[in-house]
Amino acid sequence: MLSGIQPTGDFHLGNYLGALRGWVEDQHEHDSYFCVVDLHALTIPRDPAELRAKSMECANLLLAVGLDPDVCTLFLQSHVPEHAELSWLLECTASMGELRRMTQFKEKTARGGEEAARVGLFTYPVLQAADILLYDADRVPVGDDQRQHLELTRDLATRFNQRYGETFVVPAAAIPAAGRGARIMDLQQPTAKMSKSAESPQGVVLLLDPPEAIERKVKRAVTDADTGTGSVRYDPAAKPGVSNLLELLGLATGRAPAQVAADYSQYGPLKVDTAAALVELLRPIQQRYWELTADPGVAEKALEQGADKAHSVASVTLRRARHSVGLLPRP
């Protein structure tokens, strides 16, 4: 199993409930690799000092949510050069047309235009495919927004295998069910996913937000105009704001959103309880995070150990892929 997260912006509830929380459970059941994708972070302008700081922050947060470096392999993408090299072989497998169809590329270039976009932003999904294929991963736990990138990875693996002979394991996305974290929505704009690059920070609950900030953001969450009888119900299409709150409270308390809805008739109490449950959900993570930041040696050791393990696996797969396409081994 492999998954990755970008060390950009700050982690939010969407990252946690859509991906990280599942990783923590999965690590005990699968041979798991978790990658802080610092090379992916270079696809848009980034201050070097900030990238360094965010990469460590990201590693600490992954440890704080519960990844155990003695159980799983946690590493920085740039520490394992095989990612960039396999990406090249896969760029020579992918077509311009299929990369142009990637909705994330279209969204990210909508404002600034394609001409000014970095080439890396265009080829980004191919690097993501390399991340996955290097570890023979058959399970890739991600949020719903990564579905298309996973389809591309499957297409590239299949095409490569057809062209050059069996080389890669064809992976499958493991996406939480709808209503169970697949797509957490922005609290201010409940028809858009919660995102690191959201227009307003008020709609995004960060994993490191203090309790007052969580309470304020949830209290101001946009709900729906209809407040009559039966207005608290789980109906993402007709009532996206309320449904998102029901999903959040359900995830924090281990219940289905429709089941949570049965306990409420008004928005006010739903918001109060949601905020309180989120504060409790995040409290232990925040505590561990602050302990870890006081002791940077823990993350450094985890990353060192992780890079060694990841490299030992990735180098074998890369050698196989190089052989498949006809590159000679170094004498």
Residues that bind ligand TYM (CB under 6 A): 2-6, 14-15, 18-19, 37, 40, 128, 131-132, 140, 142-143, 145-146, 149, 181, 183-184, 193-195
Complex with ligand TYM: residue 57 or 131, whichever CB lies closer = 131
Neighbouring residues of 189: CB distance < 8 A, sequence distance ≥ 6: 198, 199, 200, 203, 222
| Cα separation, 26 vs 6, whole angstroms | 20
Complex with ligand TYM: residue 306 or 330, whichever CB lies closer = 306
Complex with ligand TYM: residue 222 or 323, whichever CB lies closer = 222
Q: Where do the DSSP E strands lie in the chain?
A: 2-5, 33-36, 73-76, 139-141, 172-174
Complex with ligand TYM: residue 9 or 330, whichever CB lies closer = 9
| Cα separation, 231 vs 233, whole angstroms | 6
Least separation in angstroms between CB 329 and ligand TYM: 28
| Cα separation, 324 vs 265, whole angstroms | 62
Q: Which helix (H) or strand (E) holds 22?
A: helix 21-26
Least separation in angstroms between CB 245 and ligand TYM: 14
Least separation in angstroms between CB 249 and ligand TYM: 16
| Cα separation, 130 vs 116, whole angstroms | 25
Least separation in angstroms between CB 62 and ligand TYM: 11
| Cα separation, 225 vs 212, whole angstroms | 26
Looking up tokens 């020579």 gives 92
CB 58 within 8 A of CB 7: yes
Complex with ligand TYM: residue 18 or 240, whichever CB lies closer = 18
Least separation in angstroms between CB 3 and ligand TYM: 4
> Which residues participate in catalysis according to the annotation?
108, 193, 196
**Residue whose CB is nearest to ligand TYM in the complex, by number:** 18
Complex with ligand TYM: residue 137 or 260, whichever CB lies closer = 137
Q: Which helix (H) or strand (E) holds 214?
A: helix 211-219
Q: Provide the residue type at 133 as one letter.
A: L
Helix (H, G, I), strand (E, B) or coil at 193: strand
Q: What is the dihedral of CA 73, 79, 85, 86, to 10 degrees?
A: 10
Least separation in angstroms between CB 5 and ligand TYM: 4
Longest dimension (CA), the chain: 77
Complex with ligand TYM: residue 104 or 231, whichever CB lies closer = 104
Q: What angle do CA 112, 117, 123 make, to 5 degrees?
A: 140
Least separation in angstroms between CB 328 and ligand TYM: 29
Give the number of residues written for the chain.
Answer: 331
